[in-house]
Amino acid sequence: MTTTSPQEAFLQAFHAEYPAVTSEAFGRGRAPDGRSSYEILCDRVAGSTRVLDLG
C-alpha cells in the first residue's frame, strides 16, 4: 500500500482546484524574441532521444 505524503496531497488538491494554473502562470512570459518558455524548451529538446520532465 502506498501512502501519499502531505506535500503530494497538497499539490494534488491545489491542481484539482486550479487546473492549468502552471501554464497560465508561465505561458504569459515572453523572451525578447517573443517565444514563450514552452517554445524555448521545445527548441532546446528538439531532436533529443530522451527528456526528463521534473514538472
**Domain boundaries defined on the chain:** 6-45
- pLDDT for the residue 4: 85
Q: Are 29 and 36 in contact, with CB atoms under 8 Å apart?
A: yes
- pLDDT for the residue 10: 93
Around 4, how many Cα atoms within 13 Å sit in the side-chain half-sphere?
Answer: 8
- pLDDT for the residue 2: 78
pTM (2 decimals)?
0.46
Question: 52: pLDDT confidence band, cut at 50, 70 and 90?
Answer: confident
Query: Per residue in 10-50, pLDDT tens?
Result: 989 999 999 988 877 776 778 899 988 888 888 999 999 98
In the three-class reduction of DSSP (H, G, I as helix; E, B as strand; rest coil), residue 30 is classed as strand
- Give the Cα-Cα-Cα angle 31, 23, 53 (nearest 5 degrees): 90
CA distances from 9 to 13, 15, 27, 29 (A): 6, 10, 25, 29
